[in-house]
C-alpha cells in the first residue's frame, strides 16, 4: 500500500498519462489546473505519444491534481496513469516544457 503524506505536508509526484492525450489540449489544461491549484512543476509531451508531468505542493492538492489527470480535458481519452513519488523540484510556478 503506498504511503500517503500528511494533509499539509509538501510532496511531489511524477505522472505519465497514456491514451489519446496529445493534440487534445492536455498540456494547456494541465497548466491551467495546476496554476489554479497553486502547484509548482511542469508538463510536457513525450515522443511516445504520452504526456508526463511533475506536480509539487501540499499533499492533498497534489493528489487531487493526479486524480483530475485521470479524466483530463473533454477531448482526451485517458487509458492509463502511472504515478510515483518524486523529489520536490527547485522550481516556483508551473510551466509547459518542450517534447522529450
Q: Is residue 71 annotated as part of the catalytic site, yes or no?
A: no
Residue 1 neighbours by CB under 8 Å, 6+ apart = none
Separation of CA 76 from chain center? 14
Options 36, 40, 44, 45, the catalytic residue: 45
Catalytic residue among 16, 27, 70, 77: 27
**Any idea of the CA torsion for 87, 91, 93, 94, to the nearest 10 degrees?**
-60
3-class SS at 36? helix
- Residue 90: CB partners within 8 Å, gap ≥ 6? none
> Is 45 annotated in the active site?
yes
Query: Which residues are catalytic, by number?
Result: 27, 45
Amino acid at each position: 500500500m503506498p504511503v500517503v503524506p500528511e494533509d499539509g505536508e509538501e510532496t511531489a509526484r511524477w505522472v505519465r498519462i497514456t491514451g489519446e492525450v496529445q493534440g487534445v489540449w492536455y498540456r494547456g489544461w494541465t497548466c491551467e489546473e495546476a496554476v489554479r491549484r497553486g502547484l509548482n512543476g511542469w508538463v510536457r509531451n513525450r515522443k511516445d505519444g504520452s504526456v508526463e508531468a511533475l506536480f509539487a505542493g501540499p499533499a492533498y492538492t497534489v493528489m487531487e491534481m493526479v486524480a483530475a489527470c485521470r479524466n483530463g480535458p473533454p477531448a482526451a481519452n485517458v487509458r492509463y496513469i502511472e504515478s510515483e513519488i518524486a523529489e520536490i523540484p527547485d522550481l516556483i510556478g508551473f510551466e509547459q516544457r518542450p517534447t522529450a
